[in-house]
Amino acid sequence: MSAAVICRNVSAGYRQQPVLHDISLTIQAGQMVALLGPNGAGKSTLLRVLTGLQPLTGGEVELFGRDLRQLRATERARLVAVVPQEVTTPMAFTVAELVALGRSVPRGRWAGLAATDRQAVEQALAYTDTLELRDRYYSELSGGEKQRAIIAMALAQEPQLLLLDEPTSHLDINHRLEVLQLLERLNRERGLTVVMTSHDLNLAAEFFPQLALLDHGRIAATGAPAEVLREELLEEVYHCKLAVRRDATGVLMILPTRTGTAPTGKRVHVICGGGSGVEVLRRLCLAGWQVSCGALNQGDTDAQTALALGVTTALEKPFSPLSAGVLATAGQLAQAADVIVVCEVPFGSGNVKNLDVARQAGKPVLLNTRQVAVRDFTPQREVPAMIRTLVERGATSWEHVSDLLIELEKVR
């Protein structure tokens, strides 16, 4: 595999303000790379460096083995094409005329290769599915159609490297997908090297096998999505709380978390499991409660939620009955709390001891009493009796999260 782009110790900047510091980066031919990073991290500047728009203050850039500074404008345009965020023209170009601008500059010594030019334009139109738009005015297209037309113009250059500067930031989710799928296809079928800057971490994780994360003009990390999109790294770079999770199909999801609610200082211990606590945990965290949770098995949906929210949790090994040690931890958490919440959790022999934790803590209990019998999977059918005992001892029953929050206000 040969390198499409090599940056060696590249520095660049605007006047007195350096933007890129000592960037070294190699992009192999045929790769799909997303450049990520917060505003002002230097993503766009790095793209401008690669197209020769931004002069270097240090280091060197090689495109397909050739020094960028030695490339003539026409040679560069045959290697690299660029899709900016937005292209506007005051002229009433039709889509076909616009795409033909990709061949603005004569290709070789003999400028008369009109047939080749026409063929390149037709191919670009076909590839981007813009054939039926060819006679429409570019300025009258929708955002997604415009972006496809611009990509077609770039493809008419027949480049080996396509650079895109946040091409999807003006598009709705449907057209974003459309553009990214087009890039994926171009990469797969034509071996086109694709480098794109993006603010959308989720789409980048889904569509780009290689990521590069920039921060303050330096490379913070490069590699596969799982290596780059790490929670602590992202929090450091983006300066916000966020959670990295995988959904059921293994897709990486990066979710920013809301912060800033004033803490009440009151503690609540939540007994949940199997997803019954997801909403409760989130709502309580947002409301400013100090939340603890457990006991839960690792890998349980609620355990993942608790982890993402930074909730202290008593954790048991996956698929194991709750051991005495973990139950003791849960007991301590429950005793430290001002109130205990029991969610609409199914009980079996593995987790039923959590009800003992609630009973023994000696704190007010808010107990979900919805369809108790249906949720009872213990061999002796002991749950309804345990619930009754708790209620007799003064536990408040609730059925919906909104009721729970109202009850909790009273505790406060």
Candidates 8, 136, 245, 266; binder of other proteins (CB under 8 A) is 136
Q: Which is nearer to other proteins, 142 or 261 (CB)?
A: 142
Q: Which is nearer to other proteins, 139 or 169 (CB)?
A: 139
Other residues' Cβ atoms within 10 Å of the Cβ of residue 253: 15
Q: Which is nearer to other proteins, 153 or 367 (CB)?
A: 153
Interface with other proteins: number of residues (CB under 8 A): 34
- Per the structure block, which two tokens stand in for 410? 């009273």
For every residue of 250-307, DSSP letters joined together read S-EEEEE----PPP---EEEEE--TTTTHHHHHHHHHTT-EEEEEEEETT-HHHHHHH
**379 Cβ partners below 8 Å, 6+ apart?**
349
Residues 331-390 close enough to bind other proteins by CB under 8 A: none
Candidates 53, 224, 251, 255; binder of other proteins (CB under 8 A) is 53
Q: Which is nearer to other proteins, 127 or 138 (CB)?
A: 138
Rounded Cα distance, 300 and 294, in Å: 11
Q: Which is nearer to other proteins, 99 or 291 (CB)?
A: 99
Q: From 322, 260, 277, 258, select the one nearest 296 (Cα to Cα).
A: 322
Task: Report, in Å, the least distance between residue 97 CB and other proteins.
Answer: 7
269 binds other proteins (CB under 8 A): no
Rounded Cα distance, 195 and 27, in Å: 9
Task: Report, in Å, the least distance between residue 26 CB and other proteins.
Answer: 23
Residues 154-193 close enough to bind other proteins by CB under 8 A: 154, 157
Q: Which is nearer to other proteins, 162 or 201 (CB)?
A: 162
Residues 58-117 close enough to bind other proteins by CB under 8 A: 73-74, 76-78, 80-82, 84, 87-94, 97, 101-105
218 binds other proteins (CB under 8 A): no
Burial class (CB in 10 A: 0-12, 13-18, 19+), 113: middle
Task: Report, in Å, the least distance between residue 139 CB and other proteins.
Answer: 4
Helix, coil or strand: residue 184: helix
Task: Report, in Å, the least distance between residue 406 CB and other proteins.
Answer: 55
CA 209 vs CA 43, 101, 199: distances in Å: 18, 31, 16
Task: Report, in Å, the least distance between residue 183 CB and other proteins.
Answer: 17
Interface region with other proteins, contact rule CB under 8 A, candidates 48-56, 182-190, 217-225, 386-394: 48-56
Our CA dihedral for 346, 347, 350, 351, rounded to 10 degrees, sits at: 90
Rounded Cα distance, 229 and 212, in Å: 10
122 binds other proteins (CB under 8 A): no
Rounded Cα distance, 310 and 35, in Å: 29
Candidates 60, 67, 129, 140; binder of other proteins (CB under 8 A) is 140
Residues that bind other proteins (CB under 8 A): 51-53, 73-74, 76-78, 80-82, 84, 87-94, 97, 101-105, 135-137, 139-140, 153-154, 157
